[in-house]
Chains A and B, each alone.
Chain A
Amino acid sequence: MLLVPAMIMFCCGVYGFITRRNMIAILISLELMLNAVDINFAVFNRYLWPEATEGMFFTLFAIAIAAAETALAIAIIINLYRSAKNIDVRDLNKLKY
């Protein structure tokens, strides 16, 4: 039951990720997807194996790692902004090939 909004949230994340051009917006979409997954973990844990704690802990760690990742991503974005004055992903393709 709780999976449905999580699922919609995930799809919103997907939509945002592939349509937005601002890197921060993309990051936000990413967070949405991550959260949707986290919820799924917790829900499955709670409903199917209530005695186990794996899902919960997984979520816990995912949150921690997501935090770290976001911090780093933002650091990169800021740095990029400093050098390129722009955070539009479509213009940042110099690293290809």
Chain B
Amino acid sequence: MESVGSIILYIVVALAMVVFSVLAVTTRKILRAATYLLFTLFAAACVYFMLDYEFLGAVQIAVYAGGIVVLFVFSILLTSRPGHNSERLSSKSRVLGSVAALAMLLISGYALVSRCALYAAKPALDTPTMQQVGQSMMSTGHGGYLLPFEAVSVLLLACIIGGVVIARKR
């Protein structure tokens, strides 16, 4: 078993994650939803840290929390009309949605419970250093990710251009 500290950490992180994600999809104010999303994302970053993937956690914070959420906020401000930023959900769709979500939860939960050891110990691992990550990114062959890296960079370029073109004022 793990240390008590890590268990407490786990509980805190898990709770934050669950609570904030639930809040993010149930709140009526869209700006609040974005804020809750931010907290959820932080929690996810914590998970990465707990898994010893520091670089991943850093990226999560930088890209998601730092980039995407900001984008969200800007777009919300751009698109919402004053006093009109709340939406009313019909109870029917809410019921249906929660039924679907619960069913989903049930099925995947069952799969999880029946297949995985819930309390498995974390194997020991040398935290992959930045150097290792960088080398993997830039190398080919087994464990090398040059091709996806390049693909992603092209994709990002395309996104930039696409974004500019789409959002351009006519």
Q: Verify that A and B bind, or say they do not.
A: yes
Q: Are B10 and A75 in contact (CB under 8 A)?
A: no
Kindly state the separation between the CA atoms of A10 and B44 in the bound complex, as whole angstroms.
12
The 0/1 profile, CB within 8 Å of B marked 1, for residues 30-65 of chain A is 011001001100110011001101001101110111
- With A7-B108, A9-B18, A39-B44 already in contact, the answer to whether A19 and B93 are too (CB < 8 A) is yes
> Which of under 10, 10 to 19, 20 to 34, or 35 or more describes the interface residues of B?
35 or more
Complex: A23 Cα to B136 Cα, angstroms? 37
Chain A contacts for B21, CB-based, 8 A: 8-9, 12-13, 32
B71-A70 in contact (CB<8A): yes
Residues on A with beta carbons closer than 8 Å to the beta carbon of B136: 53, 57
Q: In whole angstroms, what is the CA distance A68 to B63 when docked?
A: 10
Complex Cα gap A31–B94 (Å): 20
- B101→A75 contact, CB < 8 A: no
Give the contact-size bracket for chain A.
35 or more
* A68 and B75 alpha carbons, distance in the complex (Å): 15
Q: Are B30 and A32 within 8 A (Cβ)?
A: no
The chain A residue with its CB closest to the CB of B15 is: A5
**In-complex Cβ contact of B97 among A1, A3, A18, A60 (8 A):** A18
Contacts A19-B89, A67-B156 supplied; 17 other A-B pairs, CB < 8 Å: A4-B118, A7-B112, A14-B104, A19-B25, A20-B87, A24-B34, A25-B25, A25-B30, A32-B21, A32-B25, A39-B44, A46-B122, A59-B56, A61-B148, A72-B163, A74-B75, A88-B87
List residues of A whose CB falls within 8 A of some B CB: 1-16, 18-22, 24-25, 27-29, 31-32, 35, 38-39, 42-43, 46-47, 50-51, 53, 56-57, 59-61, 63-72, 74-79, 81, 87-88
The interface of chain B, by Cβ under 8 A from chain A, is: 10, 13-15, 17-18, 21-22, 24-26, 30, 33-34, 37, 40-41, 43-44, 47-48, 50-53, 55-56, 59-60, 63-64, 67-68, 71-72, 74-76, 78-79, 87, 89, 93-94, 96-98, 100-102, 104-105, 108-109, 112, 116, 118-120, 122-125, 128, 136, 143, 145, 148-149, 152, 155-156, 158-160, 162-163, 166-167
